[in-house]
């Protein structure tokens, strides 16, 4: 049996280059993180070989005695972590978790009400060509023009007008907390289910640094790889037994075949980590970093260059930079930061006049750097580099800024001891 480097040097080399890219630069895509080594070891294990359609103790295949234990441990750990009665840990991703919930609770043609993609919602919350927009009627709420915040009275008005069967609270790009109890009151008023998609902020909830949606929502979905810091994947949580049964059968056999038990093992390991004090400390640095970034950008003279922080700050792990009044657009800003070694993603801001492939915004997140060990003062240095890079005169030499990025990357070696495969 040959190893990867020996058998497939082409792929091994590309993996090695990606490791080097992650090591030498600063990952600031808000939906990304650096999974711990133990999580990656679980994911890269022989569990990938096992078919296990069904659920622990109720499988359609033999030989499930060990994966049954793995999956049950993952379920028990995530229930303990978030304080929910029931959990399904099989969704292959956040998108399939959402698809399964809609499949469980709705009929095609029913109406869903979610945050518009253009205001920070996710594709699965009702985007036109996503399954959610094709199978269901979609109504959307947005953010207020003056504050860029979700106005729950607006959500209530939309709910009364469209009478949705499901309201979705959650976002991919929004820097503030949501009022889950108000969302639930609106859902109850119109007879809708409330689903909270906490994909982005699940790690903050686990660390008790963000309000928990569990007691308010009928169903909560999440990814496991963003702030939660585990392997790529999804989960579904609920406190209602009747819904749990529907959700289990919507995931399997409704949406998926065999569960990815190697990923479920990695989820279990990540849930164990997320219940430890070191995880809380890391999430605190993640939040302090985002707050420092927002503060520094607001204080620096970027505003003079027409660069603003949406809502003037953040409550979470990301900052939204508004470039609508700037001479550079989202694409140019992303490219500039990339050139000095900082990876972010351009992102449409609400009421964005530029097309989606260009945009007038940046979404900058701190989870991956917090996982690497960055402290608040390191994040201040990162913020200064970002501000200087965005405001540098066109075509100027930014090699000094790139050196500052290298110094930060060198200060916190990523996966020390791991050799490129």
With CB under 6 A as the contact rule, the residue among 113, 158, 199, 265 that binds ligand PLP is 199
Is residue 200 near ligand PLP by the rule CB under 6 A?
yes
Q: Which CA distances in Å does 133 have to 93, 125, 192, 199, 200?
A: 18, 8, 18, 19, 21
Question: What string marks each residue from 289 to 328 as x (binds ligand PLP by CB under 6 A) or -?
Answer: ----------------------------------------
**Complex with ligand PLP: residue 119 or 401, whichever CB lies closer:** 119
Among candidate residues 23, 176, 226, 346, the one labeled active-site is 226
| Angle formed at CA 258 by CA 257 and CA 262, multiple of 5 degrees | 145
User: 79 an active-site residue?
Assistant: no
3-class secondary structure, 291 = helix
With CB under 6 A as the contact rule, the residue among 124, 165, 212, 311 that binds ligand PLP is 124
**Complex with ligand PLP: residue 234 or 289, whichever CB lies closer:** 234
Q: Which residues are CB-contacts of 129 (< 8 A; sequence separation ≥ 6)?
A: none
3-class secondary structure, 166 = strand
Site size for ligand PLP (CB under 6 A): 15
User: 226 an active-site residue?
Assistant: yes
User: 61 an active-site residue?
Assistant: no
Identify whether the C-beta of residue 159 lies closer than 8 Å to the C-beta of residue 113. yes
Is residue 94 near ligand PLP by the rule CB under 6 A?
yes
Would you state the structure tokens that stand for residue 106, as one six-digit string? 């709705």
Would you state the structure tokens that stand for residue 95, as one six-digit string? 């998108």
Q: Which CA distances in Å does 155 have to 137, 147, 193?
A: 16, 15, 14
Is residue 168 near ligand PLP by the rule CB under 6 A?
no
Which region among 110-118, 128-136, 194-202, 410-418 touches ligand PLP (by CB under 6 A)? 194-202
**Complex with ligand PLP: residue 178 or 326, whichever CB lies closer:** 178
Is residue 122 near ligand PLP by the rule CB under 6 A?
yes
Residues 389-408 that bind ligand PLP (CB under 6 A): none
Report the residue count for the chain.
421
3-class secondary structure, 87 = strand
β-bridge mates for residue 220, sequence order: 196, 237
Confirm or deny that 117 is annotated as ligand binding: yes
With CB under 6 A as the contact rule, the residue among 26, 42, 75, 95 that binds ligand PLP is 95
Residues 211-240 that bind ligand PLP (CB under 6 A): 223, 234
β-bridge pairing 166-170 and 193-197 = parallel
Identify whether the C-beta of residue 126 lies closer than 8 Å to the C-beta of residue 162. no
3-class secondary structure, 257 = coil
Is residue 165 near ligand PLP by the rule CB under 6 A?
no
- C-alpha span between 235 and 348 (Å, rounded): 27
With CB under 6 A as the contact rule, the residue among 40, 53, 72, 93 that binds ligand PLP is 93
What's the min distance (Å) between Cβ of 157 and ligand PLP? 23
User: 366 an active-site residue?
Assistant: no
Angle between helices 277-299 and 376-391 (to 10 degrees): 30
Q: Which sequence positions are flagged as catalytic?
A: 51, 53, 197, 223, 226, 232
Residue numbering of the annotated binding site: 117, 121-123
- Residue numbers at the binding site for ligand PLP (CB under 6 A): 31, 93-95, 98, 122, 124, 170-172, 197, 199-200, 223, 234
């Amino acid at each position: 049996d040959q190893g990867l480097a020996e058998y497939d040097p082409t792929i091994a080399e590309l993996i090695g280059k990606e490791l080097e890219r992650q090591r030498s630069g600063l990952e600031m895509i808000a939906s990304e993180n650096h999974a711990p080594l133990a999580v990656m070891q679980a994911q890269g294990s022989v569990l990938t070989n096992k078919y296990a359609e069904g659920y622990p103790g109720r499988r359609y295949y033999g030989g499930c005695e060990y994966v049954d234990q793995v999956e049950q441990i993952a379920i028990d750990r995530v229930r303990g972590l978030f304080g929910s009665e029931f959990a399904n840990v099989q969704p292959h991703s956040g998108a399939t978790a959402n698809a399964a919930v809609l499949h469980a609770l709705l009929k095609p043609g029913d109406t869903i009400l979610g945050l518009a993609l253009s205001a920070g919602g996710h594709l699965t919350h009702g985007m036109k060509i996503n399954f959610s927009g094709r199978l269901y009627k979609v109504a959307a709420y947005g953010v207020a023009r003056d504050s860029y915040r979700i106005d729950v009275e607006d959500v209530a008005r939309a709910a009364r007008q469209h009478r949705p069967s499901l309201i979705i609270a959650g976002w991919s790009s929004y820097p503030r907390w949501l009022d889950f109890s108000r969302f639930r009151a609106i859902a109850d008023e119109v007879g809708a289910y409330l689903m909270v998609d906490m994909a982005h902020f699940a790690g903050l909830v686990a660390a008790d640094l963000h309000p928990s949606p569990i007691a308010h929502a009928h169903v909560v979905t999440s990814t496991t790889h963003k702030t939660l810091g585990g392997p790529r994947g999804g989960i579904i949580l609920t406190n209602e037994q009747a819904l749990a049964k529907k959700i289990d059968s919507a995931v399997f056999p409704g949406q998926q075949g065999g569960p990815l038990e190697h990923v479920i093992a990695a989820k279990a390991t990540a849930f164990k980590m997320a219940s430890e004090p070191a995880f809380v400390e890391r999430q605190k640095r993640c939040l302090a970093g985002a707050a420092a970034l927002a503060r520094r950008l607001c204080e620096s003279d970027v505003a003079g260059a027409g660069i603003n922080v949406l809502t003037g700050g953040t409550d979470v792990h990301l900052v939204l930079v508004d470039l609508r009044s700037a001479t550079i657009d989202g694409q140019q800003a992303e490219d500039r930061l990339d050139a000095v070694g900082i990876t972010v993603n351009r992102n449409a801001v609400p009421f964005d006049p530029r097309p989606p492939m260009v945009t007038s915004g940046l979404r900058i997140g701190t989870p991956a750097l917090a996982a690497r060990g960055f402290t608040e003062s390191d994040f201040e240095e990162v913020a200064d580099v970002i501000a200087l890079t965005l405001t540098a005169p066109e075509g100027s030499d930014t090699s000094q800024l790139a050196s500052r990025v290298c110094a930060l990357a060198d200060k916190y070696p990523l996966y020390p001891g791991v050799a490129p495969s």
